[in-house]
Structure 1
């Protein structure tokens, strides 16, 4: 099978990593068992652009068990785990990815994935889908649909649809409650904090942590850093989210003010240059900057280079920038999503990705069985509830059921005071 990975001899180590993740993903195991029996995806090629690590591998093997032919590439130049990519290639999956790709290699691997002329696309960040539209228009008529994993990608795809550029139906897996509540809040919150601590060997307790953005991802980061004893400040442009942060007890201010006292800055906005040159000039010596959004545009790295007299990689995944007055600022993982791009970053816990990838798998099944119109679709509510129910069962949690009388009451409009 065609593949292009860093070292195929890493496959045995990667397989052990995949086996460990598989032990902690019972919801996907339930789905995989049914897919294996039904072989719903036989004759179907699925192209994916995802962070290639152990939990992603469990998901891809689930689709393969259902009969799918797979063409796989990474969704970030630094997030591919080479031993996992090797293990997938060794299992007959077409993999084109390695850690440390340059921009040209990254898009060439996307091109190779699309050369397999997939029937469906599964994306994280929308690079695969947007590239198919802009560079591979000849295969668009064959693509029946796609799904998107993350907030940034959904924003891009909604913008495409708004401008009449989207030509295939998309399911926004990111927008379902089970994904936003658990993956974005609990998964990103925990994995981001874990990555910052692992890369820097720094404590969170007692630090001034500045969380830029208070969407589901920012909420999770603020919650976890607060729980570790940090003094948390939230930066927001949305008045409702800012008020919510204030009501939860977080300090809320603007970036100009927070720049003066922050020890650790974590961006989670999905937007452009939310920390810029005017902010770097106010930061204290030794401040740490990192990003938990999809693209490395939230911290203005070009602006930081411009005002720096020198820069160096002081430790693995820590780049130090020296300013004219001698202050030093530190950027983690090249400003890319810190919970996956760092060499020591492990991504979300398997228990969290169990739910997200089960949503992806069942959304793909929904697209295979239904001819959807071209637009960005929500995940059907029954899929969301099914995944939540399977997760509860895996956790041995029983919930209450409505009685017949209660269901009749909910449907009645006549009963009043």
Structure 2
């Protein structure tokens, strides 16, 4: 197997962590058991550009159980867990091309390996793999049956591709499925982002002013958890409706230029570029901690910060860089502006990723079953598949719910009965 990882000898620790995560992923385990029997991906090649974590490893196990020939590369240079990569190669037959801290050249070399795998199905976390195929590999346009996209950022890019007429195969926006975004983005990002910030800085959040840039599902989760730890939470937004929702949820809302003046900690979760810029750095308090939990490392304008810094001290703590400004203030940037929850912690809890990756697995099966029936568009998974995932998760939690009576079903499907 032509893998490219840090050290195969890390596999023992990685296997232990993969199996530990697996115990909190009962929905995916149930799907894996069925896939072992039915082999829905027999004879297919799959290339996956995802965060190489213990939870992702259990998704890879599920795909291979379904008969797929799977190659995994990293979707972020700082999110790879090297022991997990080693165990996937040694213990589970998955070819991995990912090394934590890989430079930009290596990152794109690993993407090239995923493309050279000649996939029939791709999985993306940010749409880098699809983008590379569309820009440079027309020979794969007819070969790829479908692609799955895991992130808000990636879906935004893919919808832009569809609008511009450059999308050459169907894509399922896994991120837009409720069993993904309502749980992964809100509960997963909310908890794991705080975990990363606290691990990196050892900051006490109680009493601090914590600024959340963006009030989408990730921002809602992060703001809620920060408030739960006693922080004074401020939200910044560019969308009137989301800003209004934040106000009605009890948060202060103001422009970033005002929020930066009072912030002790800032975290961006927008998916957009240069949310924190030079004018914001110029007014920050001494010692302000700046981080990002959006997908790419573009939300914090580090080029501008480098320009105005009189001195930069790297790794004052692991994953913490200090930028000293000419007036004596210091700004601390976590994880080089990359995903703080994965670079400084271990990403989402396994029980959350159980939902997301169950959705990924079933979306892949849906795409393969509907080969040739899907247009070159961005799709959302059918509602009945979401209901199936949610029902299985509730069952694993020993939670029961009511069912509609025949009378209630009839009432909901009729119009004759009024007040």
TM-score category (smaller protein): over 0.9
The residue that corresponds to 2:83 in the other structure is 83
The residue that corresponds to 2:331 in the other structure is 329
The residue that corresponds to 1:22 in the other structure is 22
The residue that corresponds to 1:214 in the other structure is 215
How does 1:361-400 map onto structure 2 within 5 Å? 361-370=361-370, 371=372, 372-400=374-402
How does 1:141-180 map onto structure 2 within 5 Å? 141-180=142-181
Distance 1:71 1:381 in 2: 29
The residue that corresponds to 2:36 in the other structure is 36
Shift in Å at residue 178 of structure 1?
1.4
Distance 1:295 1:145 in 2: 23
How does 1:243-322 map onto structure 2 within 5 Å? 243-313=244-314, 314-322=316-324
Residue by residue, what CA displacement relative to the aligned partner does 1:206-257 show, whole Å, maximum 9, x if unpaired?
A: 1000000000000000000001110000000100000000001100000111
Shift in Å at residue 336 of structure 1?
0.3
Distance 2:21 2:410 in 1: 43
Distance 1:219 1:416 in 2: 38
Q: Secondary structure at the match of 2:6?
A: coil
Distance 2:110 2:261 in 1: 42
Task: Confirm or deny: 8 A CA contact 2:196 2:343 kept in the other structure.
Answer: no
Distance 2:79 2:232 in 1: 30
Q: Secondary structure at the match of 1:142?
A: coil
Task: Confirm or deny: 8 A CA contact 2:52 2:73 kept in the other structure.
Answer: yes
Distance 2:162 2:407 in 1: 45
How does 1:109-258 map onto structure 2 within 5 Å? 109-258=110-259
Structure 1 residues without counterparts, runs of 5 or longer = none
What count of residue pairs does the alignment treat as equivalent? 415
Distance 2:144 2:416 in 1: 50
Shift in Å at residue 71 of structure 1?
1.1
Shift in Å at residue 407 of structure 1?
0.6
Distance 1:105 1:327 in 2: 35
Distance 1:203 1:125 in 2: 32
Residue by residue, what CA displacement relative to the aligned partner does 1:285-315 show, whole Å, maximum 9, x if unpaired?
A: 0000000000000011000000000101211
Structure 2 residues without counterparts, runs of 5 or longer = none
Residue by residue, what CA displacement relative to the aligned partner does 1:84-138 show, whole Å, maximum 9, x if unpaired?
A: 0001111221111110111110001000111010000000000001011112222
The residue that corresponds to 1:359 in the other structure is 359
Q: Secondary structure at the match of 1:33?
A: helix
- TM-score normalised to structure 1 length: 0.99
Runs in 1 of length 4+ with deviation above 3 angstroms? none
The residue that corresponds to 1:340 in the other structure is 342
The residue that corresponds to 2:57 in the other structure is 57
Distance 2:260 2:198 in 1: 21
Distance 1:102 1:416 in 2: 65
Distance 1:257 1:202 in 2: 22
Residue by residue, what CA displacement relative to the aligned partner does 1:23-43 show, whole Å, maximum 9, x if unpaired?
A: 110000110010001011110
Shift in Å at residue 177 of structure 1?
1.2
Distance 1:40 1:180 in 2: 26
Distance 1:260 1:92 in 2: 52
Shift in Å at residue 318 of structure 1?
0.2
Distance 2:50 2:28 in 1: 17
Q: Secondary structure at the match of 1:141?
A: coil
Shift in Å at residue 180 of structure 1?
1.3
- TM-score normalised to structure 2 length: 0.98
Task: Confirm or deny: 8 A CA contact 2:169 2:376 kept in the other structure.
Answer: yes
Residue by residue, what CA displacement relative to the aligned partner does 1:323-381 show, whole Å, maximum 9, x if unpaired?
A: 00010000000000100122xx1100000000000000000000110031110001111
Q: CA RMSD in A?
A: 0.6
Q: Secondary structure at the match of 2:168?
A: coil
Distance 1:212 1:40 in 2: 41
Q: Secondary structure at the match of 1:67?
A: coil
2:71 maps to 1:71: yes
Distance 1:214 1:304 in 2: 25
